[in-house]
Structure 1
């Protein structure tokens, strides 16, 4: 998993100018009953906070008490999705209290950080967290997975979709484009059969090499957009051996468009 590799990168590869207050929380920092301290760098946009089972897209940088960086997602173009259940307790506590768009600097005591784990920073660590997006645990199927809801758009081909999050881009991919996507697929009985979210990072795909429903549907999208597609079997795997059968449901986010 790429996130795990980032957490293990040598500090020498990730060094950057450490903020002056990383060793000791400033007087104005808020303390929580667990011993965590934080200050809000930028407020969020409101809305619901993550829950423990969610996946969150987060940019984060972490410093040990000596100012050495032990992790930094900003060395990659894309912020990863992380499972809140798998994070260190202090990082999880912090994200559960944030809303999308919020950025915090948190000071995490050793007991809520690496708890003396070999090869990890000892003592209190400081982290800058930026919460960019939240999606539910992909193992929990959407309530409308069995059939498109009445307000879903239905194309002549039989492909149906709902827009879950508007995009920010202006350009649509073409059939010959490379696309970078996050996705989860379910059968109509609610079984998840594939998802990019547990892998952390989005997946590059040649659009014309995907199923017909994706070729048609993704050409309607722009970067940053997330849609739910109900894909009839004739536009999916057409009953191929070893592949999911029947209508399939996909949540797809178009992260980027290549050449």
Structure 2
């Protein structure tokens, strides 16, 4: 297995942009990790590295309204209302009173529910748990994409469990009590000075499942094909590239197989895809998100040139076959592990989502 990240940059893939949603998830992760000894070890592995999805995940059951962890009864008075213009408001009743990190399902949502491998688009807000005043929110912006995969399960098991079983329209709340954390030491502090602490106020997070995205391409099949490229068939709902024959094209070739109806992808986007990569020389598979059991997300600017150029201008929902000459793949250098040197490659890619960079404040 290898990464599709550019060998020149050797950057780990990013699951989602650093937006308010990420900060909200990180805040919950920080609190639960401190209280339960959680770890983020392995959460930043590159696509295809160390993947060993040899066992199928268990089928999740539907979430139950009122269920949660910690002290769910303390969030019984919390409710979310969204105005016609998308502006959210939160009612906390008499305020949240508990000293435990707590989650609660406010609304279980509708079928189908989220399970392992699902791609969810979420709205998010943070609010004052005493007054309900909204401090930050994404409801008036585009929802953010989250994949319920092994990375989320390892890096943030609380968030993974919180989303699993919730349906579209579902709402979940998470409360993090106030914390005392060590404050950075002043540069001029003398040795032996007692460490100071900073109080982090309690926070209330509310998440709403706006959409569950398809995990396969959706659109009209393209009849016209480039005869230089191998056939792609579908087996067990997965596209499979036939063993290539003849010489690989000298230039990049992008062959749409299914034409989606979503927006066009730009090189600035962060994309969520399912894919399989094989070598032109013998058709052997060297990387596959389908084999790992969940889609993957990465910034299109951080991958090999053949991917960036091949996916630019394609529409979300499409399936494309990309033939990449070695100079637009890993070239003479190969991958960071030394594989795929001077290899011409083939990828079949389902484009499931694309998100523009988060606005800079």
The TM-score normalised by the length of structure 1 is 0.52
Give the corresponding residue for 1:106: 172
2:350 to 227, 230, 251: 251
SS of the aligned residue for 1:226 comes to coil
Describe the shift of the 1:59–1:227 C-alpha distance in structure 2 as closer, same or farther (beyond 3 A): same
SS of the aligned residue for 1:5 comes to helix
2:165 to 97, 115, 119: 97
Task: Specify every segment of 5 or more residues in structure 1 that has no aligned partner in the other structure, as ranges.
Answer: 10-15, 26-33, 137-141, 150-156
Describe the shift of the 1:160–1:178 C-alpha distance in structure 2 as closer, same or farther (beyond 3 A): closer
Give the corresponding residue for 1:147: 241
Aligned residues of 2:271 and 2:355 also touching (Cα < 8 A) = no
Aligned-partner Cα distance in 2 for 1:37–1:180:
32
Give the corresponding residue for 2:206: 127
CA RMSD in angstroms, aligned pairs only: 4.9
Aligned residues of 1:180 and 1:256 also touching (Cα < 8 A) = yes
Aligned residues of 1:6 and 1:71 also touching (Cα < 8 A) = no
Deviation at 1:234, TM superposition (A): 3.0
Describe the shift of the 1:256–1:115 C-alpha distance in structure 2 as closer, same or farther (beyond 3 A): closer
Give the corresponding residue for 1:59: 123
SS of the aligned residue for 1:51 comes to coil
Describe the shift of the 1:19–1:179 C-alpha distance in structure 2 as closer, same or farther (beyond 3 A): same
Give the corresponding residue for 1:28: none
2:329 to 233, 237, 240: 237
Task: Specify every segment of 5 or more residues in structure 2 that has no aligned partner in the other structure, as ranges.
Answer: 1-16, 28-86, 97-101, 181-199, 216-235, 244-251, 279-284
Deviation at 1:247, TM superposition (A): 1.8
Aligned-partner Cα distance in 2 for 1:92–1:55:
12
Give the corresponding residue for 2:6: none
Aligned residues of 1:146 and 1:190 also touching (Cα < 8 A) = no
Describe the shift of the 1:232–1:68 C-alpha distance in structure 2 as closer, same or farther (beyond 3 A): same
Aligned residues of 1:186 and 1:192 also touching (Cα < 8 A) = yes
Aligned residues of 2:103 and 2:162 also touching (Cα < 8 A) = no
Aligned residues of 2:127 and 2:136 also touching (Cα < 8 A) = yes
Aligned-partner Cα distance in 2 for 1:143–1:239:
32
1:80 to 145, 148, 172: 145
Give the corresponding residue for 1:5: 23
Give the corresponding residue for 2:258: 163
Deviation at 1:73, TM superposition (A): 3.6
User: Which of structures 1 and 2 has the bigger CA Rg?
Assistant: 2
The TM-score normalised by the length of structure 2 is 0.40
Deviation at 1:61, TM superposition (A): 1.7
Query: Are 1:182 and 2:271 an aligned pair?
Result: yes
Describe the shift of the 1:71–1:182 C-alpha distance in structure 2 as closer, same or farther (beyond 3 A): same
Aligned-partner Cα distance in 1 for 2:119–2:353:
17
Aligned-partner Cα distance in 2 for 1:54–1:69:
28
